[in-house]
Amino acid sequence: MTPSASEQIDRWLEKFFAHLRNERNLAKRTRDTYAQQLEGVAQQLNLNSWSELTALHIRELLNDARRKRLSPASIALKLSALRTFCQYLLLQGELSTNPTTGIQAPKKGRPLPKQLHVDEMSQLLDFDPGDDVLGIRDKAMLELTYSCGLRLAELTGLNLDNLNQDKSLLRVIGKGNKERLLPVGRVARQAVQAWLRVRPELAPADERALFVSKQRQRITSRQIAQRMQHWASRQGLNQPLNPHKLRHSFATHVLESSGDLRGVQELLGHANLTTTQVYTHLDFQHLAQVYDKAHPRAKKTPREQ
């Protein structure tokens, strides 16, 4: 029995999603994004098979997105999903050419990541948790995130065996199941060792997770975000705080001190140097502010002020 047109369309999508999961090891959230974009395209287009897909279809999809006033970022995401899917179909022989070739996404301004200044970071981390088990745990999470530039998913996924014996090295599994080995700074190492001494008060004997919650199980991303915001408020930081802001702060501060872009790329686990280069803009902003304040020819006259 010959499969219907809709069955053929869906079958290629299922193969592609399996490819993303099994061969490219993409995270579930990323796979879900691809599925949302491509399933919407399949419903919008009236195709008998993906082999009929042309550049005209692609342009019509993007024009329709513009008419609906989708943001440039949303349109770029749709085109990126289509481009990757079409490249897969091309390799599988379902397409003879990639219809997305030469089609450009609308330009979008790339927002610079937000970070804490060094003084603000010291203000956040300068607290003594005393005998409070949750405070000791939270200090260890904050110090480790800032010391190693961890992503939120990397922090929640840490197990006891990710640390070496003297807690000076941390093995992290990042995006795409890529592993990297990170040095742990002295202060972060001390905070982690303090947490490990009291960890049995919360963690069952068979629990592998490095950080656990009051529920005696691996702490969740949401719980981490809530605890970090709690300490930001308690320490008098008048701004939202999340794990990614600590990661941005780590990258910016290391780059400002070292100027080693390649080194920062390795520490962050970025696949492409262009992803890391955004931090050079932050560094330039800092230098420009210093220049404007210090250079005699840069200072504004009273009329300009």
Query: Is residue 175 annotated as part of the catalytic site, yes or no?
Result: yes
**Cα–Cα dist 78/86, whole Å:** 12
**Cα–Cα dist 8/22, whole Å:** 21
Q: What is the DSSP string of 236-268?
A: T--S---HHHHHHHHHHHHHHHH--HHHHHHHH
**Cα–Cα dist 63/103, whole Å:** 12
How far, in Å, are 231, 249, 278 from residue 253 at the CA level?
21, 6, 13
Of 31, 83, 230, 244, the catalytic one is 244
Ordered alpha helix ranges (H), 149-260:
152-156, 186-198, 221-234, 243-258
**Cα–Cα dist 38/43, whole Å:** 9
Query: Is residue 199 annotated as part of the catalytic site, yes or no?
Result: no
**Cα–Cα dist 294/276, whole Å:** 28
**Cα–Cα dist 203/267, whole Å:** 30
Of 151, 227, 248, 253, the catalytic one is 151
Query: Is residue 270 annotated as part of the catalytic site, yes or no?
Result: yes
Of 279, 297, 300, 303, the catalytic one is 279
**Cα–Cα dist 89/92, whole Å:** 5
Of 21, 175, 180, 230, the catalytic one is 175
User: Do the Cβ atoms of 79 and 105 come closer than 8 Å?
Assistant: yes
Query: Is residue 286 annotated as part of the catalytic site, yes or no?
Result: no
Query: Is residue 88 annotated as part of the catalytic site, yes or no?
Result: no
Q: Report angle CA 62, 66, 70 to the nearest 5 degrees.
A: 105
Query: Is residue 279 annotated as part of the catalytic site, yes or no?
Result: yes
Ordered alpha helix ranges (H), the chain:
5-22, 28-44, 55-67, 72-91, 118-125, 133-148, 152-156, 186-198, 221-234, 243-258, 261-268, 273-276, 278-294
Of 78, 218, 245, 247, the catalytic one is 247
**Cα–Cα dist 10/24, whole Å:** 20
| Residues labelled as active-site residues | 151, 175, 244, 247, 270, 279
